[in-house]
């Protein structure tokens, strides 16, 4: 493939999904990344939680998150058929619980906010919570059940997207993109670390928190993304075969937040910190301790599980915590980055929208509020 129709920079779940969908639509595609399926996609927990992740002032983002969540069952079915593997999609719902009276007040306020937004959540007593999850601590004071907040195994998802993309004819080059090649008018390709160039008139930048580091992008068009560190743990049943929760459990513990996401094979993902530490990915004693402390406060039996992995990923944050999806003022350059807390959730809608832009030139209304040019128009800091 000397000159593909599209070059995608970044082979996390977003970049791979864009590549797969674009190739399925008839375009020739090359994806560039030295470590496909790595980065934030590898470190994530895989929650699909538009309702329990809702935040004040992010109503437009909520609409996008709900739209993508609604697409997930069909997306998963198509992906599993294309890749020939499963992705660990689970639909048992999410239980958010509070450990003390103050935490319960936080959940009650969240429930009221969700209700005002027309979202369906069920307020539960302590007994209700323990009926759903018998391993919960007796100290739990109440909770919320959200039937529509699901989960997926992010690592299986990434592997399936890589397989589906390659089966669809996408060329995945395990090389680092270092510079966008441009002339006076438009994009002309991407230069790699080995000095070679992949020529193309269209480039989709999907490199997560590194999207602002690609040389050659005019300074005024650099994506305003930053790394937001998240430490995360993976636990597995120990010799005693101790079990974890049946569904995703999110906890408010002394005002802090922790989540526990089970996998079908017994693994339990516990996360995650939110740290403004630049590109640092150090796993710290304090970070591991705080996650285990809060998780064990919710499920005391976690002390019997084995700690099999501790890692730190870098979420791509933006000034308004919403993604950058769409064209830029440089002809031929599109962005699919800045998904912050919702990268796994937003895979279906992002890939669908970017593919529509590539094939028809039209921007689907669902992603129109997330045009990358919104910050320049508002004079926001970059």
Chain centroid to CA 264: how far?
20
Q: Dump pLDDT digits (tens) for 298-353.
A: 999 998 999 999 999 999 999 999 999 999 999 999 999 999 999 999 999 999 99
| Coil vs helix vs strand at 336 | strand
Per-residue tokens: 38: 């790595």
Higher pLDDT, 377 or 348: 348
Instruction: Indicate the length of the chain as a whole number.
Output: 382
Asked whether the predicted pLDDT for residue 165 surpasses 80, the reply is yes
pLDDT, one tens digit per residue, over 245-287 is 999 999 999 989 999 999 999 999 999 999 999 999 999 999 9
Given pLDDT bands bounded at 50, 70 and 90, which one contains residue 371? Answer: very high
Global confidence as pTM: 0.96
Output the average pLDDT for the chain: 95
Burial class (CB in 10 A: 0-12, 13-18, 19+), 361: exposed
The phi, psi pair for 197, rounded to 5°, reads -130, 135
Neighbours of 90 (CB within 10 A): 19
User: Which tens digits make up the pLDDT trace of 102-124?
Assistant: 999 999 999 999 999 999 999 99
Tokens of 236: 């597995």
Contacts of residue 155, defined as CB under 8 A and 6 or more positions apart, other chains included, come to: 37, 42
Q: What is the pLDDT of residue 292?
A: 97
Spatial contact of 270 and 47, defined as CB atoms under 8 Å apart: no
The Cα 233–Cα 260 span in angstroms is 10
CA distance 178 to 103: 47
């Amino acid at each position: 493939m000397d000159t593909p129709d599209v070059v995608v920079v970044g082979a996390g779940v977003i970049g791979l999904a864009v590549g797969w969908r674009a190739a399925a639509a008839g375009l020739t595609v090359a994806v560039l990344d030295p470590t496909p399926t790595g980065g934030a996609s590898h470190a994530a927990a895989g929650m699909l939680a538009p309702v329990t992740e809702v935040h004040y002032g992010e109503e437009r983002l909520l609409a996008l998150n709900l739209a993508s969540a609604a697409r997930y069952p069909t997306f998963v079915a198509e992906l599993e058929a294309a890749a020939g593997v499963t992705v660990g999609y689970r639909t048992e719902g999410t239980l958010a619980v509070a450990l003390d009276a103050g935490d319960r007040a936080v959940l009650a306020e969240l429930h009221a906010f969700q209700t005002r937004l027309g979202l369906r959540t069920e307020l539960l007593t302590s007994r209700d919570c323990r009926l759903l999850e018998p391993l919960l601590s007796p100290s739990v004071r109440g909770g919320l059940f959200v039937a529509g907040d699901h989960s997926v195994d992010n690592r299986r998802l990434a592997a399936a997207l890589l397989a589906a993309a390659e089966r669809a004819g996408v060329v995945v080059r395990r090389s680092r993109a270092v510079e966008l090649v441009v002339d006076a008018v438009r994009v002309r390709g991407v230069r790699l670390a080995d000095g070679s160039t992949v020529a193309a008139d269209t480039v989709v930048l999907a490199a997560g928190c590194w999207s602002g580091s690609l040389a050659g992008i005019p300074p005024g068009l650099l994506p305003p993304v930053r790394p937001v560190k998240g430490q995360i743990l993976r636990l597995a049943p120990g010799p005693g075969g101790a079990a974890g929760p049946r569904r995703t459990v999110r906890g408010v513990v002394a005002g802090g937040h922790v989540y526990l996401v089970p996998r079908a094979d017994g693994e339990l993902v516990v996360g995650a910190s939110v740290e403004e530490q630049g590109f640092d990915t150090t796993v710290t004693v304090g970070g591991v301790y705080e996650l285990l402390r809060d998780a064990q406060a919710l499920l005391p039996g976690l002390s019997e599980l084995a700690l099999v992995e501790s890692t730190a990923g870098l979420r791509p944050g933006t000034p308004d915590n919403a993604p950058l999806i769409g064209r830029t003022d440089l002809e031929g350059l599109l962005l699919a980055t800045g998904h912050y807390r919702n990268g796994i959730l937003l895979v279906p809608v992002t890939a669908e929208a970017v593919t529509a832009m590539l094939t028809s030139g039209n921007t689907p209304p669902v992603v129109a509020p997330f045009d990358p040019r919104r910050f320049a128009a508002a004079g926001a800091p970059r």
